[in-house]
Amino acid sequence: MALIPPFYLDTVVAVGLQNSDGEFFWIGSGFLFGKFIEIVDDKRSRYRTYLVTNKHVIKNQKKVFLRFNPKSNEKSRDYAVDLVNTNDQIIWTGHPDPNIDVAVLKLNANQLEKDGMKFNYFHSDTQIMTISQMNEGGITEGDFIYTLGFPMNLVDKDRKYVIVRSGIIARIRNLLDGFSNEFLIDSFVFPGNSGGPVIIKPEIQSIENTKPPQKANLIGMVQSYISYRDTAVSQQTNEPRIVFVENAGLARVIPIDFVLETINVANSNTEKP
C-alpha cells in the first residue's frame, strides 16, 4: 500500500554543478511546484510551474543542472538552468525576508513535456497544507512525515531515483502559534537534502479528540539539519583540544506558506513594467 502518491517522486529533482572535467556533483534537492492559475474545463486546470529550493543551494551560482528521467527507459538527462542573465543579474526570486531560505525560479514545463521527460509538480490548490490548514487539521508533534531528496551526493549515474526517509514532527506548536517561521522534524537529513519536500503521512486512526491527516500533502521544505558540538578536553591542561560536530537527528523545515509568498513576489516582479 503506497502512502506517498508515486508521482510525488517525479516532482523532486537533483540540483548540481559540473566540474572542469565535465563530471556532475550534486549540491542539493529541489522540487517542482505548480501555482494554480485557472480552471480550463471539467478535467483540467492551468498551473504556472516553478523550481523551488533553498537560497543557500543556488546562491552565488550562475548556472545549475537539474536531472530528469525520460519517460522511456533511457539514461537521465541533465538540464542546464541559468540563474543570471547576460548582465549577471539574478533571475531567480528569493523570499524578501533574508532569514527565510526560499528561492523559486519559473520553469518551462512545456519543454520538458516536449522532450519526453517524466516529471510532475505539486498542485497549490489540492496537494499542500498551509499553516492555517495544519492548525485546522490538528497537525501536531508526533505526526509522521516523509522527506524526499538526494542526501550526500547519492544520485545514480544513469537515472534519477529519489531517496525517501521517514520521521515525525518534533516541534511545531511555536509555528502554529505564530512565534516561529519554521518547525522541526525528527529525521536524519544530510547535505544534499536541502530544498527537498516534506510530506505529511496520511493516517487511518487517531486517538480521541484528534484528527488523523487524510492526505499525503506537502507541508514544507527541508532547510538544514541541526548539529551539536562535543568538545574533547585535554586531561593534562583541562583545555579544549578538539570540537566534534555531529548531526543531532533534528532538521529545520520551512512551511509551504513561504514558498507561496515567494512565488507571489516573483509574479509581481514579472508584472512590473
Give the pLDDT confidence of 7-52 residue by residue, as tens digits: 999 999 999 999 988 889 999 999 999 999 998 888 889 999 999 9
> Where do the H-state alpha helices sit in the chain?
55-58, 109-114, 131-137, 173-176, 257-271
**Nearest CA-CA partner of 213 in 134, 124, 125:** 134
**Nearest CA-CA partner of 155 in 2, 57, 25:** 25
From its phi and psi, is residue 231 left (phi > 0), alpha (psi between -120 and 50) or beta?
beta
Question: What's the CA gap between 145 and 50, in Å, rounded?
Answer: 23
Multiple choice CATH, 7-271, 2.40.110.20, 3.40.50.300, 3.90.1530.10, 2.40.10.120: 2.40.10.120
Contact call for residues 4 and 199 (beta carbons, < 8 A): yes
**DSSP-derived 3-state class of residue 270:** helix
Give the pLDDT confidence of 215-260 residue by residue, as tens digits: 899 999 999 999 988 888 888 888 888 888 889 999 999 999 999 9
Domain extents for the chain?
A: 7-271
Which of the four pLDDT bands, split at 50, 70 and 90, describes residue 210? low
**pLDDT at residue 242 in the model:** 87
**pLDDT at residue 271 in the model:** 54
Give the pLDDT confidence of 157-207 residue by residue, as tens digits: 899 999 999 999 999 999 999 999 999 999 999 999 999 999 999 986 666
Q: Is the pLDDT of residue 273 over 50?
A: no
Question: What's the CA gap between 192 and 106, in Å, rounded?
Answer: 22
DSSP codes of every residue in 181-231: S-EEEES---TT-TT-EEEEPP-S---TT-----S--EEEEEEEEEEEEEE
| β pairing state of 122-123 and 24-39 | parallel
Give me Rg for the CA atoms of the chain: 20
Beta bridge partners of 197: 221
Beta bridge partners of 39: 45
Question: What's the CA gap between 76 and 70, in Å, rounded?
Answer: 6
